[in-house]
Amino acid sequence: MTMTMPARIRLCLWAALLVTVTPPSAWAASCTISNSGISFGAYDPLSADPRDTNATIQNTCVGSAGENVSFSVGVTEVSGSGSNLSLSNGSARLQYNLYLDAGRTVIWGDGTNGTSMIQDSLTIPSDSVSKNYTVYGRIFGGQFSTLPGVYVDQLVITVSY
């Protein structure tokens, strides 16, 4: 079967927040995560070239002035399909991954199976502080059996501090 139209691909990051707090009782900071979502646009399954894009993840921490908050931000796929993430359109699938570097060599995940998490800390200047992180996405090229349609995935973004 020959395809002449590129498949339309859209990935939405659905962020569910799981917060683990293990600091001393005097520590009152709290952090929340938000994201811009990620969209790959049109994907041509007949091309050997990958389809790249990026998104912004923002961590906002609220607390007392001068308080330092160390945290990690990870991501897991709701369906847990394996080492590569999978976009779906019914039973049709597209393999992709999310990365922490522009060279797409450090896979963003939950810190297991060769994946890495965002590790950082913030000092709260007054009552809140935010920091943005770029996440890089790639749909692998040459997925020739892909059917046209809108493909989505559900991910859980977790911040632990």
Does residue 72 lie in a domain region? yes
Using a cut of 0.85, tell me whether the model's pTM lies above it: no
pLDDT along the chain (161 residues), means of 10: 33 35 56 90 90 94 91 81 77 92 94 91 90 95 89 88 83
Does residue 2 lie in a domain region? no
Residue 148 has a pLDDT of 86
At residue 113's C-alpha, the angle toward residues 91 and 68, to 5°, is: 115
Closest CA to 138 of 40, 55, 44: 40
Does residue 47 lie in a domain region? yes
CATH code assigned at 70: 2.60.40.1090
Does residue 1 lie in a domain region? no
Residue 108 DSSP symbol? B
Residue 45 has a pLDDT of 87
Does residue 154 lie in a domain region? yes
Does residue 131 lie in a domain region? yes
Does residue 114 lie in a domain region? yes
Residue 18 has a pLDDT of 35
Structurally, the chain folds into a number of domains equal to: 1
Domain residues for the domain of 121 are: 7-160
Does residue 94 lie in a domain region? yes
Residue 79 has a pLDDT of 61
